Amino acid sequence: MEKIEEKKEVRTIAAVLEHAGFEAYLVGGCVRDLLLGHTPKDWDIATNATPDQVQQLFPDSVYENAFGTVGVKTDSEDQTLKIVEVTTYRIEGKYSDMRHPDEVRFASTIAEDLSRRDLTVNAMAMDLRAGAAHEIIDPFQGRQDLRARVIRAVGDPEARFQEDALRILRAVRFGAQLGFTLDHATEAAMKKHAGLLEAISKERIRDEFMKMIMTDHAHEAIRLMEKDGILKYVLPELEEGVDVGQNKHHIYSVFEHNVRALQYAVEQHFDLDVRIASLLHDVGKPRSKRGEGPDCTFYGHQVVGERMALQILDRLRFPKDMTERIALLIREHMFVYDPDTVTDAGARRLVRRVGKENLEALFQVREGDRIGSGVPKAQPYRLRHLKFRIEKVSKDPVSAKMLKVNGADVITGADMAPGPKVGFILAILLEEVLDDPSLNTKEILMDKVRQLAQLDEVKLREMAKFAKRSADDAQTRIEEEMKKKYFVQ
Ligand code: ATP
Ligand code: MG
């Protein structure tokens, strides 16, 4: 595994440093990736030159952060090489709050720099000096752990996790990223100090969580965190489903079912939103469970789950649009797709609620739900049928924007003043058109506008509300019927 070729840009930077009398090593993730035969995502150089000295040697560089990192710009076409990070050797000062190093102190040797790193597989360096023949500096036997496929903390694991508890999640994440197992003492220390994660910033936790979810072993990472008492500091709500049994249509607990839905999303290489929505799709079940045994029910769990997901993702400081998209996928994941039940109007209303751009993701979540139940009903044709149905109605109007009349038409056509009445009239028209798209002509709608314009604002508001609610109720009634018929939860 040791045929290593560093890139020309990296070699050039190292040569400049060496020529000026400094050391230059490749460090961290890129050495690990090279030794594994993977392509590094970024290239990091460590040196004994100070940040000022590095900047003087490379005029086209920027001081990137408070940790002594200088980004050296190259003219490479390769995204991963456009900026090479050159960081002065450092050791971290004592840690007082287990969140941030108190101070950044520069070190004088590569050995010191390696000793502050988190995991043995991340604590190797490759000597870039011209005569060094790519020698690997490996004081913590990282290569041995790469071969044995083991994640192990550098030095005393308890001390390392106490210094920075995020390393607990990093150990889980790298295990999932590389498909490695945890060294016994490292895992024991993770278990013991998991509670320190409470003091770690939510943003740092979110970043590790997202990386973890995007790995090929994300589902195993979730199981591992549950087993080791780590999950409750990341996603306590997910843990509520452990040992919560389901009804006769499921063979797994709520927790196991959620994890299996994630597994499906991972295996299908679905995107981050779909993976998280799959993992959380039934998170509302423990709180909505009624009764015990084969006939227990979970009515409304998708709405409870939506609310919980909003809270969870907000707490973890996920971007607002992502939070809302995931919550929407959870709320709508129970959509009816029985071809005998879904009408064209029902399909249009689904499109309106979910948005065209989210339909594919919603189908993906539902697939995972089905497969993750362990007893998938042989009815993928039904999903296909609904997709076809949606395709068919997708050109129909599903939002007020798609009506053949707009606010200005209403105002001039009915000779009325701008104001809330206009919006209510458009809302009433949309409900009618959702049921019957053939009504969407300017002539028919303007007729209706003139009639509606006679009514006062209070009346119109009621009608608008009522039209939407009765349509949604009709949909809910159909869904309730279906559930009774099939006991689908
Ligand atoms: P990847 O980029 O594939 O996620 P990486 O190894 O480059 O992997 P980074 O998070 O970019 O991971 O960190 C770069 C290096 O910095 C790591 O390899 C590790 O040596 C060190 N490092 C990062 N975070 C910590 C930490 N919290 N404690 C100790 N060392 C760390
Ligand atoms: Mg990196």
pLDDT tens-place string over residues 14-44: 999 999 999 999 999 999 999 999 989 899 9
pLDDT score of 95 more than 70 = no
Q: Is 118 in the pocket of ligand 1 (CB under 6 A)?
A: yes
Q: Over the stretch 126-183, which tens digit does the pLDDT of each residue have?
A: 999 888 888 999 999 999 999 999 999 999 999 999 999 999 999 999 999 999 999 9
Distances (CA, A) of 205 to 65, 168, 202: 20, 10, 5
Q: Which two tokens stand for residue 430?
A: 């949309």
**Which sign does the torsion angle of CA 175, 181, 184, 188 carry?**
positive
Q: Over the stretch 203-219, which tens digit does the pLDDT of each residue have?
A: 999 999 999 999 999 99
CA-atom Rg of the chain in angstroms: 29
pLDDT at 206: 98
Task: Measure the CA–CA gap between 89 and 72, rounded to whole angstroms.
Answer: 16
Q: Over the stretch 461-472, which tens digit does the pLDDT of each residue have?
A: 999 888 777 666
Q: Is 71 in the pocket of ligand 1 (CB under 6 A)?
A: no
Closest CA to 227 of 172, 284, 173, 271: 172
Between these two residues, 432 and 274, which has the higher pLDDT value? Answer: 274
Nearest CA to ligand 1 atom 1: 29
Which ligand does the CA of 29 lie closest to?
1
The mean pLDDT of 241-264, rounded to a whole number, is 90
Q: How far is the CA of 43 from the centre of ligand 2 (A)?
A: 8
pLDDT score of 125 more than 80 = yes
pLDDT at 103: 63
8 Å CB contact between 37 and 1: yes
Between these two residues, 5 and 485, which has the higher pLDDT value? Answer: 5
Question: Looking at the whole model, is its pTM more than 0.85?
Answer: yes
Buried b (16+ CB within 10 A) or exposed e, 33-60: bbbeeeebeebbbbbbbebebbbebbee
Nearest CA to ligand 1 atom 16: 28
Q: Is 28 in the pocket of ligand 1 (CB under 6 A)?
A: yes
Task: Measure the CA–CA gap between 189 and 51, rounded to whole angstroms.
Answer: 35
The angle subtended at Cα 253 by Cα 249 and Cα 256, nearest 5°, is 115
Q: How far is the CA of 122 from the centre of ligand 1 (A)?
A: 7
Q: Is 166 in the pocket of ligand 1 (CB under 6 A)?
A: yes
Percent of the chain with pLDDT over 90: 66
pLDDT at 233: 97
The mean pLDDT of 279-301, rounded to a whole number, is 90
What's the whole-number average pLDDT of the chain? 89
Where residue 331 falls among pLDDT bands split at 50, 70, 90?
Answer: very high
pLDDT score of 487 more than 60 = no
Q: How far is the CA of 455 from the centre of ligand 1 (A)?
A: 66
pLDDT score of 102 more than 60 = no
Q: Is 142 in the pocket of ligand 1 (CB under 6 A)?
A: no
The mean pLDDT of 374-384, rounded to a whole number, is 73
pLDDT at 1: 38
8 Å CB contact between 98 and 163: yes
* Residues contacting residue 428 through CB under 8 Å, at least 6 positions apart: 448, 452, 460, 463, 464, 467
What are the helix (H) ranges across 316-358?
A: 320-331, 344-354
- What is the atom index within ligand 1 of the atom nearest the CA of 32? 6
Which domains are present in the chain? 8-145 (3.30.460.10), 149-234 (1.10.110.30), 277-393 (no CATH), 400-486 (no CATH)
Q: How far is the CA of 49 from the centre of ligand 1 (A)?
A: 21
Where residue 96 falls among pLDDT bands split at 50, 70, 90?
Answer: very low
Q: How far is the CA of 131 from the centre of ligand 1 (A)?
A: 28
Q: Over the stretch 232-243, which tens digit does the pLDDT of each residue have?
A: 999 999 999 998
pLDDT at 60: 87
pLDDT score of 473 more than 90 = no
Between these two residues, 416 and 310, which has the higher pLDDT value? Answer: 310
Task: Measure the CA–CA gap between 162 and 233, rounded to whole angstroms.
Answer: 15
The angle subtended at Cα 388 by Cα 386 and Cα 393, nearest 5°, is 95
Q: Is 38 in the pocket of ligand 1 (CB under 6 A)?
A: no
Angle between helices 166-178 and 202-213 (to 10 degrees): 10
